[in-house]
Amino acid sequence: MRELEVRSNDYNLQEGWQIAAISYAEFGQWNVVKYIDVYFEGLPETLNLRIYETVNSQTGKEFAIGNLFRFANAGIVEVQTNGDSKHVRINDDPTVLSSKKLNIFLYREGSRYFRILSRVAPAEWFENELEIMSPDSIEYWKDRADWYYKQYVELSLESQLKLRARRSDDYS
């Protein structure tokens, strides 16, 4: 005899931008590429944000995970000005992200389930040693993420749907 625990799905997920507080985060590695998984308060554990380490080919500096910490206003240890640019040292211990808020973009993959876009934006105005993140700045980063979604994610989803439709036609 078996017993099951069946939980109700009380999540009212909506597509689009929403502000979410980080519950916890943890680093991982897939093949040789590092990533960080971020989990949010009020969202199911199966719906996490994954950001892969990405290095700028000109500077050799990682920026994707760095921007996560930057936009969450978390872990900034030191800022040095070098001409027209700033160099930032970040404490990338995932625990510094706990309780920080981000603007996250939820989208549906097909009609099946939700995903969180790997591009995030700051959730609220802040000022630190590095920068002032104003409401206009927040909109700028959301617009950049929207552009990424339309140029890469949405097109990929559309081509996957067409491929599935073609395959189902082949079997009918």
Q: What is the pTM of this model?
A: 0.84
Domain ranges of the chain: 16-167
What pLDDT score does 161 carry?
Answer: 57
What pLDDT score does 164 carry?
Answer: 56
Q: Tens of pLDDT along 122-163?
A: 999 999 999 999 999 999 999 999 999 999 888 776 666 565
Q: Tens of pLDDT along 23-72?
A: 999 999 999 999 999 999 999 999 999 999 999 999 899 999 999 999 99
What Å distances lie between residue 32 and 37, 54, 60, 64, CA to CA? 16, 12, 17, 16
